[in-house]
Structure 1
C-alpha cells in the first residue's frame, strides 16, 4: 500500500510568532511560544494533510549547526545553522520540494520572501492568513478525538496545576 502524499507547509517560525497576538505576548518566554506554535501547527497540519516544517533562525549563534527535530510524526522543527536565515533555508527547501513535484505552501509575512517563494513555484500564505485559516479549521475540528469507543481530550498542564507552580517550572525550563 502506498504512502499518502502530503503537501508541504513551511513556516517562518519567528515571523509568525511576532505576528500572532497570542504568541507575541509570550516573547519573554520564547521557548514556550515556539512550543505552542508547534502544537497548534501539528493539529492544523494533521487535519489539513500537510507535512509541516517550522523553521527558526539561529544565524547569530556562534558555531551552531543546523538541527532538525521530528515531532508529532508529520512536523519537523528546524533551527538553521550559524549564518543562515530562515528565509534562505525556506527558499532552498521550497525550490527543492517544488522541483520534486510537491505542492509547497510557505507562511511568512516578509514581502521580499513572498516574491522569491512565488518565483520558485511555491504558494505564499501570510502569517495572518495562516492564523485565520488555522482558527477556522480548529473551530471546525471535532472537540473530541475518538479512539475506538473511548473519548479523549487534550489536557495541557496549564489547566491542571497552580499558576505559581507553572511559573516556577517555566523559570527552571528557561535556565537550560
Structure 2
C-alpha cells in the first residue's frame, strides 16, 4: 500500500480553496483538508499521514487520530511537521512506496535522498481535482446508464393503451 505524508499547514497555505478559508478559521480549513484526504485515500486506496505542526504550542504532546485510511498527526512541542515526516520516511522510505506532499524545497531534497517521491502542494492539488472530476464523471456515467424507462418495462400493447388515454385527456 502506497503511503503519503502530507504537510498539512503547507497545503492549507498553498491551496486556493483552503487559503481563503483559513483567513476565517484554521479549524475549518484543517477539517476540509482532512475531508479531502479521506476522499482521496478512499478512492486511491492509499494510507495518508496528514501532519500538522504544533511545535510552537507550549506543552503540546504528539496527538494521533485515525480517520479511515487517514492518520492525522499533531506534532509535539519543538517538533515541526518537516522533522516528523523526515523521521518517519527515514524509517520506511526504501521499504515501501512513499510520497511526500510539501512545497518546502529543502524538505523535498531531504525526502528524495531518503527514498521517497516528492510532490509539490500545487501538483497534489491538481491531482486531487483530477480525481474529483473522475469520480463525478464515473458517477454520471453510472447514473445515466442505469435509466430504466417505462417503455422498457411494460408490454407494447399496454404502452399503446396508456398513450391513447394520455392523448384523450
- Provide the C-alpha distance between the structure 2 equivalents of 1:108 and 1:36, rounded to a whole number of angstroms: 18
Match of 1:139 among 130, 133, 149: 133
Paired position in structure 1 for 2:101: 107
The two structures have a TM-score, normalised by structure 1, of: 0.76
Q: How far did residue 18 of structure 1 move?
A: 0.2
Unmatched segments (≥5 aa) in structure 2: 143-169
Paired position in structure 2 for 1:165: none
Match of 2:85 among 61, 75, 90: 90
Q: How far did residue 143 of structure 1 move?
A: 3.7
Q: Deviations over 1:57-98 (max 9, x none)?
A: 001111110000001x21000000000000000001111122
Cα RMSD of the aligned pairs, angstroms, is 1.3
Q: How far did residue 103 of structure 1 move?
A: 0.6
How many residues matched? 138
Unmatched segments (≥5 aa) in structure 1: 1-5, 147-176
- Provide the C-alpha distance between the structure 1 equivalents of 2:16 and 2:87, rounded to a whole number of angstroms: 29
Q: How far did residue 49 of structure 1 move?
A: 1.7
Paired position in structure 1 for 2:2: 7
Paired position in structure 2 for 1:59: 55
Which is richer in helix? 2
Q: Displaced runs of 4+ in structure 1, greater than 2 A?
A: none
- Provide the C-alpha distance between the structure 1 equivalents of 2:100 and 2:114, rounded to a whole number of angstroms: 11
The two structures have a TM-score, normalised by structure 2, of: 0.79
Q: Deviations over 1:125-154 (max 9, x none)?
A: 10000000000011101448x9xxxxxxxx
Match of 2:118 among 88, 101, 124: 124
Larger Rg: 2
Paired position in structure 2 for 1:173: none
